[in-house]
A = this chain, B = another copy of it.
Amino acid sequence: MLTEAVKQQLCEVVGSKYYKDDMEALITHSFDGTPMLQSLPDGVIYPASTQEVSGIMKVLSQHKIPIVGRGSGTNLCGGTVPIQGGVVMVMHRMNRILELDTQNLTATVQPGLITAQFIEQVEQAGLFYPPDPSSMSISTIGGNIAECSGGLRGLKYGTTKDYVLGLEAVLASGEIIRTGGKLMKDVAGYDLTKLLIGSEGTLAIITEATLKLVPKPPYKKTMLAMFHDLYDAAKTVSAIIEQRIIPATLEFLDNATIRVVDDFAKLGLPHHVEAMLIIEQDGDPSTVERDIAAIAEICEQYHADKIQIAETSEEAEKLLTARRSAFTALARLKPTTILEDATVPRSKIADMVLAINRIAEKYQVQICTFGHAGDGNLHPTAMTDARDEEEVARVEQAFAEIFEAAISLGGTITGEHGVGIVKAPYLEWKVGSSGVALMQGIKAVFDPDHLLNPGKMFAKSAKKRVVLHRD
């Protein structure tokens, strides 16, 4: 609970209209995209400027009150659930494109800008901002930066971290810092820009970002291939890359996902195939045509059952629907859908999918897998019911074993969703106790009183490992 005096101070910074603590506001900001996590904040605040953010931080740090920065709350790791109460700071009023610089190919934006709206504006200028998280029609650029969001184009174009050149951010103390700039090269000191990207609101509140843009590819083509054998699909992925072709998108759906998606979207997909790849290439028309032809040949070589190349953009949209509707289709099956993102080197995809299937069977839980095959970023998705505690416990055990499997294949516990609350107990598995200690040290440098998004990324204790692991 905030005292009246503190509320008064906060209202002085933003105006009383932009501080709320009625039950509706508190409940609305007590959860995010992550299932089964909820915690009420004590207040919700809506700043309109960097100066206001700084003013808020000064009040809160004076009174040692936790602060959780938040865009649209689409994250899947509990990253914006205020588990220690305090104030949720919603960035939606700071949603402008401050500059689109076509000479330097940069955009300077505020954090509350919706990703898809930004992408649309950028494309109208003939430019391209590649990071495309599935939540992009709702998610904000600030949230994408805080979580280092990925997306379907990660394989060829990288993720959010590859497109942030500079940041303005407010520290817990209220101090405003600036990092980087409109600079492709800048080695003045440690890379604080990259350190803030993916720091999940635990180090500072991002108030402005300078983003790198690239020329918009003039042409793109989409294709789909079905496989009776999972390994053939996986080998196809590796063979494409080994032939030095980097597709813009290289997505994977397993049999269970294909069935569910087809029941939902009535796409006429075959229910008996073990795997489906959706492949997209962009660039100059001649290069794209050549790459797609070569990829089709590789698919055939690895016994693809059916290959379909979209001849129009409508056909392409239809092929992509299978992938885009995966989460929605799966979410219809049961009340609670848990979408994970264990990630492995791309050469280990088949091993990982088989491990997921084995683990799902062991724990008798329903897990469908789809994801970004090209960069090894898989989304094993469990359909369960939060009210069934016993089943949920089995799902959690299964995911622990899936993370273990990913790490033993040279992978990681999270490729693009972040650590938040959900993965915090597993962080040590990936980065070791020394890694966690260094990260906690860095956290203390930025936020000595642990006010910024407390309880995230670092768990009180690490989860015990299920299986004996390497080294």
- Scoring A residues 227 to 244 as 1 if CB is less than 8 Å from chain B, else 0, what string do you get? 000000000001001101
Determine the chain B residues whose CB is within 8 A of the CB of A423 once the complex forms.
Answer: 188
Docked pose: A165 CA to B189 CA in angstroms: 20
Docked pose: A106 CA to B345 CA in angstroms: 10
Beyond A104-B346, A182-B345, A431-B192, whether A187 also contacts B244 by CB under 8 A is no
- Scoring A residues 356 to 391 as 1 if CB is less than 8 Å from chain B, else 0, what string do you get? 000000000000000010011100000000000000
Determine the chain B residues whose CB is within 8 A of the CB of A175 once the complex forms.
Answer: 434
Beyond A238-B103, A376-B183, whether A177 also contacts B246 by CB under 8 A is no
CB closest residue in chain B, given A180: B412
Asked if A184 contacts B171 (CB within 8 A), the reply is: no
Q: How far is the CB of A62 from chain B (nearest CB, A)?
A: 18
In the complex, A430 has a CB within 8 A of chain B: yes
Beyond A287-B287, A343-B183, A412-B186, whether A438 also contacts B192 by CB under 8 A is yes
CB closest residue in chain B, given A147: B187
Beyond A186-B415, A284-B287, A415-B187, whether A181 also contacts B438 by CB under 8 A is no
Asked if B181 contacts A190 (CB within 8 A), the reply is: no
In the complex, A6 has a CB within 8 A of chain B: no
Asked if A442 contacts B190 (CB within 8 A), the reply is: yes
Stretch at the interface among A22-30, A148-156, A294-302, A330-338: A148-156
Interface positions, chain A 128-153, Cβ under 8 Å from B, are 147-148, 150
In the complex, A102 has a CB within 8 A of chain B: yes
Determine the chain B residues whose CB is within 8 A of the CB of A457 once the complex forms.
Answer: 189
Docked pose: A150 CA to B147 CA in angstroms: 27
Beyond A241-B103, A439-B189, whether A195 also contacts B198 by CB under 8 A is no
Interface positions, chain A 75-109, Cβ under 8 Å from B, are 101-106
CB closest residue in chain B, given A214: B246
Beyond A103-B242, A181-B412, A287-B287, whether A189 also contacts B431 by CB under 8 A is yes
Asked if A431 contacts B179 (CB within 8 A), the reply is: yes
- For chain A, the count of residues having a C-beta within 8 Å of the partner chain is 89
In the complex, A185 has a CB within 8 A of chain B: yes
Determine the chain B residues whose CB is within 8 A of the CB of A346 once the complex forms.
Answer: 103-104, 184
Asked if A416 contacts B185 (CB within 8 A), the reply is: yes
Asked if B198 contacts A215 (CB within 8 A), the reply is: no
Interface positions, chain A 427-442, Cβ under 8 Å from B, are 427, 430-432, 434-436, 438-439, 441-442
Determine the chain B residues whose CB is within 8 A of the CB of A171 once the complex forms.
Answer: 434
Asked if A187 contacts B148 (CB within 8 A), the reply is: yes
Quick one: which of A188, A283, A372 has the most chain B CB within 10 A?
A: A188
Beyond A346-B103, A434-B175, whether A244 also contacts B126 by CB under 8 A is yes
Determine the chain B residues whose CB is within 8 A of the CB of A190 once the complex forms.
Answer: 195, 198-199, 203, 439, 442
In the complex, A418 has a CB within 8 A of chain B: yes
In the complex, A70 has a CB within 8 A of chain B: no
Asked if B434 contacts A154 (CB within 8 A), the reply is: no
Asked if B431 contacts A188 (CB within 8 A), the reply is: yes
Beyond A241-B105, A419-B188, whether A177 also contacts B287 by CB under 8 A is no
Determine the chain B residues whose CB is within 8 A of the CB of A438 once the complex forms.
Answer: 177, 192, 445-446
Asked if A192 contacts B439 (CB within 8 A), the reply is: yes
Asked if B177 contacts A434 (CB within 8 A), the reply is: yes
Docked pose: A246 CA to B436 CA in angstroms: 40
**A residues lining the B interface (CB < 8 Å):** 101-106, 126-127, 147-148, 150, 154-155, 158-159, 161-162, 171, 175-179, 181-192, 194-195, 197-199, 203, 214-216, 238, 241-242, 244-246, 283-284, 286-287, 343-347, 372, 375-377, 410-419, 423, 427, 430-432, 434-436, 438-439, 441-442, 444-446, 457
Known: A162-B162, A284-B286. 5 other contacts (CB 8 A): A103-B238, A176-B434, A177-B435, A185-B343, A187-B412
Closest 8 CB pairs of A and B: A441-B445, A215-B244, A185-B415, A194-B194, A184-B375, A182-B345, A103-B347, A188-B430
